[in-house]
Structure 1
Amino acid sequence: MNELLIIILIIVVFVIFKNLNNKIRNLEKQVTDLNSKINARSIHSEPAEQKAASRQDEPSPAISNNEPLRKVVPFNKNNNEQIPVAEPKDWLRPVLDFLKQNALTVIGIFTLVLGIGYFVKYAIDKNWIGEAARAGIGFCTGAGIILTGHFLRKNYATFASIITGGGIAVLYFTATIAFREYHLFTQNTAFGITTLITVISIVLSYYYRSEILIIFSLLGGFSAPLMVSTGQSNYLFLFIYISLLNTGMLAVTFLRHWKSVGWTAFIFTTLYLFTWTSEKTELLSIVFYIITYLIFYLFALQDYIRKNILPVPDILMLALINFTSTIGLVYTFNALKYEPVIIFPLLFAFINTILFFREYTRKSSGAAYSVFAGITVSLATLAIALQFRTHLITSVWAIEASLLLFIWKKTDQKIFKTCFYILFPLVIIAQILTWTEYFNAKNLSIIVNPVFLTSLVTIISTIFNLYLLKATPETEKKDSFWEASTPVISYGIIYTAILLEIIYHISDMSWAAITHIGLLFSLYYIFVILLFRRKQNISNSLQTGLIYIFLFLLTVNASVSSSSVVTDILFKKLSSGFYFVHLLQWIPFIYIVFQVVPSSGFHKQPVSYWILSLAFTIAVSFGLYHLYVFANAQDISQYYVIKKHFNVLYLPIIWAILASIFIYTGLKKNIQEYNKIGFALIGMMVIKLYAYDVWQMDNISRISAFIILGIILLISSFTFQRLKNMVKNMVDKKEKKKESSDPPSG
C-alpha cells in the first residue's frame, strides 16, 4: 500500500512539473518577443532622440525606474561629465541577494538528498539491496545529479552549480557511509576516493567558472579527512593533503579571482592547525604553519601584485594570517621548550618590512604603506613582549586590536572598527584570566614578572587606542555605545592592572595599610587622568563623574581608612611615619578644586557645592583629629580618652572656623550655596555643643570652649557685616555712576 502511494505521488509530481515547465517555456517565449519589439522601437527612435539632444546645451541623462540612483559629484570642468562616486560596499548584500534568489534551490537540493537517503534507508530496512548495491546506488545518484547540472549549466548557471554541489555532497556521503558503516574498502582507499571527488569537483568548478561550486568542493575536501577518520591521527599525511588542497585553492584564486574560496580554505586550515597544536604539540607542525603562512600571505597579496592595491578583505587577511601563525608557532616553541620564541614574529615582521620599504621607496603614503608599517611595528612589539615572557594570547590580542584600530583610522573602512570592537572584549577577558595568576603566584619580581609585563603590553596598547579614539567626533561617541564606553573601560583596565600589581607586593602588610595605599593610588590615578584631560579630549560629563568619584574616595580614605591606620599604629602593627603618607591626598585635591572644577561644569547643579564642602569638612576634621591623637596618645589605652576629648572640645571649634570660611567665600564670590553651607555647619555645631558637648566637659574646658567659640562667632559676624557693607557700597557706586552717565531727559 505504501509503495503504491509513493508511485502515485511521483506520477503527480511529474505531471505538475511538466505543466509548470510548459508554462515557463511560454512565458520565456513571450518575454523574448517583447524584447524584440522594444529593441526595434529603440532603433527607430534613435535619430529623433539624437536631434532632440543636439538642441540642448547640456544633456541630462534619463534615469530608469528600474535602475538604482548613483551618487554623483558636480560636472567635470574639462569634459562636462559627471563622475560617479563609489558607494560604500555592503558586505552582506551579495549573500542576502544570493539567498533571496536561490533559497528555494538550496532547500530543494537539500530536500532531494534527504529524500534519496530516506529511500535508500527504506530499501535497506526491506532488505531489497545489499551493502555493495547501496554504495553503488549512492555513487550513481550523485553522478546523475552532477550530469543533470551539466546539462542545465548553459541556461541556468547558478541553479546548475547548486545542483552539481548537491551531487558532490551525495558522493562524499556515500563514500563515508561505504567506509564507516559497510567497510567495503580500507581507509586509504576511502581517502583516495574522497580526494578524487575533490579533484573532480575543483576541475568542474574551474571549467564551469562557478565560484559557488568550488566552495562546495572545498567544503567537501576539508571534510573528507573527518569522514574517513578512524580516530588514529596521521597528521603528516593530513597536512600534506591540506597543503596540496590550499595550493590548488591559491592557483584557482589567481586564475579566477575568487576571494571567498581563499577565506573558506583559511578558516578550515586554521581550525585544523590549532586542533593539531593543542592535541599533539610536535616540531613537525612548524613546517606546516610556515607553508600555510606563505600560501595565504600570497593569497592576500594577489591584488597588490597585480594592481598595486590592497582591498579591505586582503588587509584583514594580512592581519589574521600574521597573528594566527604567530600564535601557533610561539605556542609550539613554548610547549617544546625551544628558544628563542621571538624568531617567528621577527621573521614575519621582516617580510612585512620588505613591502613597507617598497612603498616607502615609491614615496607612497596610501593604505598599503600604513598597513605594512602597522603590521611590522605590531609584530616587532609582540616580539619584545614575548621576550619578556608575557602571556601569548593576551599580548597577541591586545596588539592585534590596536592594529585593527590603526588600520581603521588610516583606511576609514568600518569593517576594521567592527573587528576591533569584537576583539576588544576578548582582550579584556584574556587580561582578567591573566590577573587571576596573582592569587597563586609566589615571589614575583616587582614589575619584571610575566603577569605585570603582560598587563603592561595591554596598558600600552590601550593608551594607543585612546590616542586613536580621541579624534572620534562627539556625535559618534553619543550615537554608539561602544564609542562612548570604550574610553571608560580602557581607563578601568589600566587602573586595575597597576592596582593589582601594587596590592600583590604589599599583601604581607595589614589590611588597613593595603586599603589605605589602594585608595591613595586611586586618588592619584584620577588626578593623572584629569591632569591630561585636554590631551585626551575627555568630555565634561566624564570629568564631572571622575570628580564625584574622587570626592567619595577622599571621604572614605580620610575617615574610615585613616582611622584604621591610626589604630594599627597604636597597636604597633605599623610605624608612626606611615600615617604621613595620608597627607599626600591634599595635592590632587587642591589641583582638582582650583583647576578642574571651574572648567568642567561640575557646579551646574547646586548639590555639587554641598558634596564638595562635605568632603572638605570631613577630610579636614579627621585629619586634625588624627594629628591630635598622634601628638597625645602613646598607646591604645589612651586612644579613647583623647578621642572623646577632641570630639567634645576641638571639633566644634574646627566646624566654626570652617563655617566662617564657607560664608566668607560665598560672600566674596557671590555664591549663595556656600553661605547656606556655612550657616548649616554653624547650626550643626551649636546643636552638638548645647545638646551633647556641654554635658561632657569639665568646668575649665566648658569655659574655654564657650570663650573661644564666642570670639570666633563674633569675628565671623563682624566679617559678615563688613563684607555686606562693602558689597552695598559697591552697588551704590555703580548706580550713581550709571545715573551720571545717562543723558538728561526732556
Structure 2
Amino acid sequence: MNEFVAVILLIIIFIIFNNLNTKIRKLEKEISDLNYKLNNTPPAQTEAVHKKTPTEETFIPQQVYHEEAKHHENSEKTSTPVQKDWHTPVLDFLKQNTLTIIGIFTLVLGIGYFVKYAIDKNWIGETARAGIGFCTGAGIIITGHFLRKNYQAFSSIITGGGIAVLYFTATIAFREYHLFTQNTAFVITALITAASIILSYYYKSEVLIIFSLIGGFSAPLMISTGQSNYLFLFIYITLLNTGMLAASFLKHWKSVGWTAYIFTTAYLFFWTDESPELLSITFYLISYVIFYIFALHDYFRKNILSTSDILILALLNLSSILGLLYIFDTLKYEPPIIFPLIFTALNSVLLFREYTRKNFGIAYSVFAGLVTSLITIAIAIQFKTHLITSIWAIEATLLLFIWKKTGHKIFKIFFYILFPLVMIAQLVTWTEYFGTKDFNIIFNPPFITSSFTIVSIMINLYLLRNTAKELQGKANNIFEDLITIISYGVIYITFLLEITYHISEMPWSAITSVGLLFSIYYIFILLLFRKPLNIRNDIQTLLIYLFFFLLIINTSASTPPVITAILTKKLHISFYFLHLIQWIPFIYIGYKIIPSSAFHKQQISYWILSLALIISVSCELHHSYIVMVSHSLTQSYEASKHFNILYLPIIWTILASIFIYNGLKKNIQEYNKIGFALIGLMVLKLYGYDVWQMDNISRISAFIVLGIILLLSSFTFQRLKNMIKNMMDKKDKTEESTD
C-alpha cells in the first residue's frame, strides 16, 4: 500500500512539474520575442530618439577618454583597496539560493532514505547499492552541467550536491560494505576531489570549489579506520592546499583560502594535541608558507592588503606560534623562541620594504604590529610564561591595533571574541598560586604571565581611550566600558594575588588588612591618574565612594583583629604603624581630588565624607590608645572601655566643632547639620550611658573638659558670625555709595 501511494505521489509531482515547466517555457519565448522587437527598431526611429550633433560625436568620446584616464591614474595612486562589507555578498547569496540549498539537501536525504528503504526490503545487494549511489551522484552532476549556462548559481549548488553524494557513497561502500580497501577508498575520494576542483575551475564557480574543498578535507575522516597515519594525511593536505593556492591565484577566490586554512589548522591542532612530534613541525612550517603566500598575493601584485589578507596574517601567526611552541614545550626542546624569531625576521623584511619606500600606510602598520607582537611573544616565552595566556593577550592587542590603523570593524569584532578568552586563560593562570609553594617574589610564572597580560590590556585601554576621544558626543560603547572595568580588575587581582601569596604564612587578620590596604592604594592611584586614564566624572565619584567604604571597613573591622594579634605576640607592633599609611591617600583625596571633582554635586556626598572621617578618626585613635597603654589582651578590654567613655565624646565634640566652623566659613549648610547631629549623638551617649559608667573623678573631668570645649566653640562661632555680618554690611554700604 505504501509503495502504491509513493508511486501516485511521484506521478502527481511529475505532472505538476511538467505543467509548470511548460508555462515557464512559454514565458521565456514571449520575453525573447519582446527583446527581439526592442533591439531591432528601424533606423529612422533610432535617429528620432537621439540625433547626435557633429560636436557631440567628436567631443564626448574624448571627454570619456580623459575621465577614464584620470580615474585610472587615481586608482593607481591609491594603495588601499575600497573595502566592501564582507558579509553582504554572503547574505545576498543565501537570500537568493536558500531554496536551492534546502532543495538539494532534501533531495540527497530523500535518495538516501529511498536507498535505505530498498535495502530494508532486500531489493538490492551491497554492490548494487554503491553503484546506485555513484550513478545518482554522477546524474546530479550531469544535470548541473546542462544548467550551468543559464542558471550558474543553481548549477553550482546542484553539482555540489552531486559531489556530496559521491563522497558519501564512497564512504559507505568502504565503511559499511567493505567493497574495497582503505587505499582504494582514498584514491576514489582523491579522484572525486580532483575532478570537482577541475569542474570548479572549468565552470568558474567559487561555490563549487568550496564544496569540493570541504569534501576533500572531509575525505580522510570518511575513510578513517581509527589508525593515525599523519605523514600520509598531511602530504595529502599539503597537496590539497597547493591546489587551493593555484586556484586562488588563477581566480582570486579568497573564500577558498579561508576554507583551506580553517580545515588545515583544525587538523594540525588535533595532531598536536593527540601526538606532538617533530614531524608535525615540518607541516606547520609548510602550511605557514602556503597561507602566507596566499595572504600576500595582492600585496605583491597590487601593493594592497585587504581586510581578509590582514586578518589571515594575524590569525596565521597566532595559530602557528601556538602549535609550534606547544610541541616544543611538550617535548622539552630548546630554544622555544626560535619560531617567533623566524616569523619576526620574515615580517621584518616586509616592514623594512615599506619603510624604504616611505610608505607608512596600512601595510606598514600591519607589519609593524606583527613584528612587535612576535617579539613580545618571544620575550614572554623566554621568561617561561603560560603559553596560551600570553599569546592570546598579545594577539588581542594586535587585532585592536590593526583595527585602529585600518578602521575595519572585523578586527574589532575578533578582538571582542578573543578578549574573553584571554580573561579565561588568565583565570587558569592564577589558579597556579593555589597549592604551589616556593614561588620567587615577582619572578614566578603566574606573575610574569600576568605582567604580559597587564601590558597588553594597558595598550588596549590606551587605544580604546583614543577611540572614546574620537567619538565624543556619541553614546558610550557598553562593550568598551565593560572591557575597561575588567582590565582594571585584572590588574588589581594580579597584584593582590602576588602579595597575598607571599604573606600567606602570616595570620589571617594581617592578610586581610594588607589586602584592604592595597585596595585603598589601588583606588588612590586610579584617582591620582584619573586624567591620563581618562576616567569619567561619574566613575571618579564611584571610586571615591568605594575608597571611603574600604577605609571604614579597614579601620573599624579589619584593624581590631590586628591589635589582638599584636597583643598576643603573633604580629610585631611595627605592622600596626604600616597600617597607618592609609591616611596619606585619605588626606590627599580630601584636599586635592575632591575639590576638583564632581563629588559634591549631591548633598549626600558631604554626609559620606563626614561619616568616613568620623569613623576613621575615632577608630584610629581608639586603636592607637589601646596599643600604647595595653600590654596584654585583658588590659585592652579595660583600655577600650575607658577610651569609649572618656575620650570618644571629646573627639566627637572636637570634630563637630570643626564641621560647624567649616559650614559657617564656607556657607555649606550640610556641614552645620552634620556638626549639630554629631553633638546631639554625643550628648545622648554621654547622658544616656557614659555618665553611669564613670567614677566621680572621671565624670567631673569629662563634664569640665566638654563644657570648656563647647563654650570655646560657641564663642568662636559667635565671632565668626559677627565677622561675616560686618563683611556683609560693609559690602552693602559700598554698593549704596557707588549707586
Report Cα offsets for 1:20-42 as digits up to 9, x if no partner.
11211222233334445555679
**2:687 aligns to what?**
690
Greater relative CO (CA pairs within 8 A, separation 6+) = 2
Offset, 1:86 = 9.6
Distance 2:651 2:187 in 1: 93
- 1:668 maps to which of 665, 677, 683: 665
**1:502 aligns to what?**
499
Distance 1:33 1:647 in 2: 108
**1:621 aligns to what?**
618
Provide closer, same or farther for how the CA distance between residues 477 and 555 of structure 1 changes in structure 2, counting only shifts above 3 A.
farther
**2:416 aligns to what?**
421
Aligned partners of 1:478 and 1:484 also within 8 Å:
no
Alignment of structure 1 residues 442-461 onto 2, 5 Å: 442-461=437-456
Q: Secondary structure at the match of 2:534?
A: coil
Provide closer, same or farther for how the CA distance between residues 45 and 536 of structure 1 changes in structure 2, counting only shifts above 3 A.
farther
Q: Does residue 178 in structure 1 map to residue 173 in structure 2?
A: yes
Distance 2:47 2:728 in 1: 88
Aligned partners of 2:660 and 2:675 also within 8 Å:
yes
**1:305 aligns to what?**
300
**2:630 aligns to what?**
633
Distance 1:447 1:621 in 2: 37
Aligned partners of 1:172 and 1:224 also within 8 Å:
yes
Report Cα offsets for 1:487-544 as digits up to 9, x if no partner.
1111001000110010000000001110111111111111111111111111001111
Distance 1:699 1:446 in 2: 57
**2:708 aligns to what?**
711
Identity of aligned pairs, percent?
A: 69
**2:569 aligns to what?**
572
- 2:376 maps to which of 381, 388, 403: 381
Distance 1:417 1:509 in 2: 45
Offset, 1:457 = 0.6
Q: Which amino acid aligns with 1:284?
A: L
Q: TM-score scaled by structure 2?
A: 0.94
**1:63 aligns to what?**
none
Q: Which segment drifts farther, 361-370 or 16-25?
A: 16-25
Can you give the 5+ residue segments of structure 2 that lack an aligned partner in the other structure? 61-70
Q: Which amino acid aligns with 2:566?
A: I
**2:64 aligns to what?**
none
Distance 2:735 2:152 in 1: 91
**1:70 aligns to what?**
none
Q: Does residue 8 in structure 1 map to residue 8 in structure 2?
A: yes
- 1:490 maps to which of 487, 491, 498: 487
Aligned partners of 1:477 and 1:484 also within 8 Å:
no
Aligned residues: 719
Aligned partners of 1:665 and 1:674 also within 8 Å:
yes
Q: Does residue 545 in structure 1 map to residue 576 in structure 2?
A: no
Aligned partners of 1:519 and 1:553 also within 8 Å:
yes
Alignment of structure 1 residues 341-360 onto 2, 5 Å: 341-360=336-355
**1:155 aligns to what?**
150
- 2:283 maps to which of 260, 266, 288: 288
Offset, 1:48 = 5.6
Provide closer, same or farther for how the CA distance between residues 87 and 741 of structure 1 changes in structure 2, counting only shifts above 3 A.
farther
Distance 1:208 1:7 in 2: 36
- 1:394 maps to which of 389, 395, 398: 389
Provide closer, same or farther for how the CA distance between residues 140 and 445 of structure 1 changes in structure 2, counting only shifts above 3 A.
same
**1:680 aligns to what?**
677
**2:597 aligns to what?**
600
Distance 1:438 1:611 in 2: 37
Q: Secondary structure at the match of 1:599?
A: coil
Offset, 1:471 = 1.2
Aligned partners of 2:81 and 2:306 also within 8 Å:
no
Aligned partners of 2:81 and 2:304 also within 8 Å:
no
Offset, 1:8 = 2.5
Q: TM-score scaled by structure 1?
A: 0.93
Aligned partners of 1:202 and 1:217 also within 8 Å:
yes
Provide closer, same or farther for how the CA distance between residues 88 and 347 of structure 1 changes in structure 2, counting only shifts above 3 A.
closer
Distance 1:37 1:242 in 2: 55
Report Cα offsets for 1:206-262 as digits up to 9, x if no partner.
010000000000110011000000001101100110111011101100110111111
Aligned partners of 1:345 and 1:380 also within 8 Å:
yes
Offset, 1:603 = 1.0
Provide closer, same or farther for how the CA distance between residues 571 and 38 of structure 1 changes in structure 2, counting only shifts above 3 A.
farther
Distance 1:29 1:599 in 2: 82
**2:656 aligns to what?**
659
Provide closer, same or farther for how the CA distance between residues 255 and 664 of structure 1 changes in structure 2, counting only shifts above 3 A.
same
Distance 1:201 1:487 in 2: 50
Offset, 1:116 = 1.2
Offset, 1:14 = 1.8
RMSD: 2.3
Provide closer, same or farther for how the CA distance between residues 519 and 41 of structure 1 changes in structure 2, counting only shifts above 3 A.
farther
**2:63 aligns to what?**
none
Q: Which segment drifts farther, 367-376 or 559-568?
A: 559-568
Aligned partners of 2:83 and 2:307 also within 8 Å:
no
Q: Which amino acid aligns with 1:289?
A: Y
Report Cα offsets for 1:619-652 as digits up to 9, x if no partner.
1111111111121111112010000000000000
Offset, 1:414 = 1.0
Provide closer, same or farther for how the CA distance between residues 41 and 739 of structure 1 changes in structure 2, counting only shifts above 3 A.
farther
**2:526 aligns to what?**
529
Q: Which amino acid aligns with 1:564?
A: P
Q: Does residue 21 in structure 1 map to residue 21 in structure 2?
A: yes
Distance 1:639 1:42 in 2: 117
Q: Does residue 582 in structure 1 map to residue 551 in structure 2?
A: no
